[in-house]
Amino acid sequence: MKKNANEVSRRDFLKSGAIAAGAIAVIGAGTFVLDHEAAKSMPREGFLRPPGAIEEEDFLYGCIKCGLCVQICPVHAIKLAGAHEGLGYGTPYIDPREQACDFSCDALQCVETCPTSVLDFKQFKETGLRAVEAAAAEPGVDMSQVNPFEVQKVAMKNAVKIGKAVVNKHTCLAHAGKPFKGVSRGTDFSGILRSPNDVNSSATPLRDREYDQDICHLCVTECPIGEKAIVQVRNRNGRKLIPRVLDGCTGCGVCEMVCPTEHASIVIEPF
């Protein structure tokens, strides 16, 4: 019996479609491997990744560029890299000079929302739980009077390691013994900040803040971590008060954002 031409063409179409799908799958698998190999040789070492970021080559390989961390950040500190970044295109980063991570979310929401765990929340969750257990073990503490979330959020925030602040003593106003009075980044600057000295529960524009410090130490007074991260100390001859960065620095970048010199005199260097 002669076969209907439509049946033949339909069968051929399905066959060719299956072959094409198989070919695409093979090519896709090859690309998957090639991308991972390329990621090993093309880490973006200069980027400051959001809190909890895993090793750079694994980050590049695992990040699906969904942008959820960007959407959930209350101060819009997280950006997506442009096409010129090669394999880093579309991956999240922080430019603290433009907008620092001031921990306004209190709960590391960018990390918690990451669907692939390239921002690893497990480490912070464990840190928070240990902090609650330690608080409960303290003599005389009535945990019914303690908000566990308050304990957890402080511990998780302190555990962040984005990078570490480095002071340029040649341009730092404090190292020169100079004061600072006025708006730190000018009235056109769009960055926002929830200062540790504020009663506000959310961040407000930095341009609305005026400072009056006999010796500039904005990096110290505005640090959301406090004296575990940076302190004001006397220099060797005891004549000047200068900032000293400590091991508790999280690399959040608030110090870099608020620094009033034309080019920031304190910058965050990634680990």
Poorest-confidence range of 4-8, 101-105, 239-243? Answer: 4-8
* pTM beyond 0.75, yes or no: yes
- Tokens found for residue 269: 């260097």
pLDDT for residue 37: 57
| Helix, strand, coil in percent for the chain, rounding step 5 | 35, 15, 50
H or E stretch covering 269: strand 266-270
Average of pLDDT values for 141-164?
A: 94
pLDDT for residue 41: 46
More confident of the two residues 123 and 7: 123
* Whether the predicted pLDDT of 214 surpasses 80: yes
CA dihedral for 188, 218, 110, 161, sign (positive or negative): positive
Residue 238's pLDDT band, with cuts at 50, 70 and 90, is confident
Residue 87's pLDDT band, with cuts at 50, 70 and 90, is confident
